[in-house]
Amino acid sequence: MNKPVRRIAIFCGLLILTLLIRDNWLQYVRATDLQENSKNRRISIERYAQPRGDIIVDGKSITGSTKTNGSDYAYKRTYKNGPMWAPVTGYASQAFGATQLESIEDGILTGNDDRLFFRRTLDMLTGEKKEGGNVVTTLNGAAQKAAFEGLGDKKGAVAAIDPTTGAVLALASTPSYDPSSFAGNSTKTDTPAWEKLQKANDPDEPMLNRALRQTYPPGSTFKVVTAAAALEHGLVDDPDAKTDTPLPWTMPDTTRPLENDGPLPCKDATLREALKVSCNTVFGKAGSDLGKDKMRETAEKFGFNSEQFVPVRSSASVWPKEMDRPQTALSSIGQFETAATPLQMAMVAAAVANDGKLMQPYMVDELQAPNLDVIEKHSPSELSRPLSEENAQKLQSMMETVVDEGTGRNAQINGVKVGGKTGTAQHGVDNSEKPYAWFISYAKTDSGTPVAVAVVVEDSQASRGDISGGGLAAPIAKSVMQAVINSKK
């Protein structure tokens, strides 16, 4: 080979080598970056080229897909009873992305999950269109409806759990929104609908998932945690023995007495009586006597100070770590900086109802391939043991007294043993804002304990004197419990 030809051959070989290097660089090193680049419309077009899989409740889909017009995105998401289910599903929007289950399980719903690789390959060989899989939830449709309709036009949230497994049965938040209203990418309809829902334009924050992401002062419902700590750490052995609680009781290191809500029979009251009528003095003194560290130990076993993933993330509820003794007393009655999500307080009720065993909450039962084969099945798991079986049963008896004889009478269900605790949580500077109404409870039937519930209501329309956990929140909890019980028959 003469020299000019050899030079041309070497040059061409170098060009081919460069092209191969460049090709491999793009396909393997830069592939992920290019796929995720916001300007790469091919990925988005492919993403919406076929219907998404569905989110399932009680064997029926609560989502769907519809053909679009005038867009290169062929399909967009639809929702059945969208506002009711939004705290569960989240949204999937061509313009604004996805949240909650729609985001977390996006790979299954679009059919792009690695676990569906064999299925996708088979579809390519057979010429079948790619399909998305399904997400089967643990939700109970009747319980969700009872929760959503019970809240009505009030601002608030409900969380319900199966105490024996941790399965989430209801997750409601109001006010809510319809994810269908901005599921497309139209600047004429979807964008205005989205903007209308933003906090800057709607101070009620309809897109805030109050059941998982909003923490509230739990008020007197937290006294269940304080009672558990008193029993577990040996401060109280017998719930029916008188406590050494003067009236008035002055918080340590202060000259300030801790007030009860009226002239209640709280002097030296038993733990049972104190829970029944909700004595601040008894539980404030108990928390102060135990000290912040023992109280924190029990609170954290119930789930405080940790985020929960169900798999949607729930904000961490708060038991303050740095407090003096008066602040510990206030925190022990659910005030000061103590804060909890509705999910957290449902976990408290569930742990007590389940004889002291707290199960990890979850709301996805299984993931299905497009042909309905099960890809993944959830196995219930224990999260912690906040209290012993013996002490849990003592606390059950106390909570049942609250409903049978005390502030929780509005949650009574014929033929069913109900345990509960009311709460009216003060908030705002010098408690200037209208309080939050709380109720936590569980229902016990001859066949077991199928449900534990937490309800919080922010009723800005009610007069301050009419706001109470027993009056506003307990009836909602009752309807949710009844719905679960009826669905088991």
Model pLDDT for residues 390-406, shown as the tens digit of each residue: 999 999 999 999 999 99
Active site residue ranges: 220
- CA distances 415 to 436, 452, 489, Å, are 30, 17, 14
Q: Using 50, 70 and 90 to split pLDDT, how confident is the model at 214? A: very high
* C-alpha–C-alpha distance, residues 411 and 413, integer Å: 6
Q: Using 50, 70 and 90 to split pLDDT, how confident is the model at 462? A: very low
Whether residue 438 is predicted with pLDDT greater than 50 in this model: the reply is: yes
pLDDT of residue 206: 97
51-75: average pLDDT: 92
* C-alpha–C-alpha distance, residues 160 and 141, integer Å: 12
Token representation of residue 147: 């929760």
User: How much is the mean pLDDT over the chain?
Assistant: 90
Phi-psi group of 145: left, alpha or beta (phi > 0 → left; psi -120 to 50 → alpha; rest → beta):
alpha
Give yes or no for a contact between 424 and 468, defined as CB atoms under 8 angstroms apart: yes
Distance between alpha carbon 16 and the CA centroid of its chain, in Å? 56
Model pLDDT for residues 136-195, shown as the tens digit of each residue: 999 999 999 999 999 999 999 999 999 999 999 999 999 999 999 999 999 999 999 999
Token representation of residue 222: 């937290």
* C-alpha–C-alpha distance, residues 5 and 8, integer Å: 5
Q: Using 50, 70 and 90 to split pLDDT, how confident is the model at 235? A: very high
Whether this prediction's pTM lies above 0.85 is answered by yes
Flag the least confident range among 224-233, 333-342, 419-428: 419-428
Whether residue 431 is predicted with pLDDT greater than 60 in this model: the reply is: no
Domains of the chain, earliest start first: 47-125+135-199+208-489 (3.40.710.10)
101-128: average pLDDT: 78
Whether residue 460 is predicted with pLDDT greater than 50 in this model: the reply is: no
pLDDT of residue 126: 61
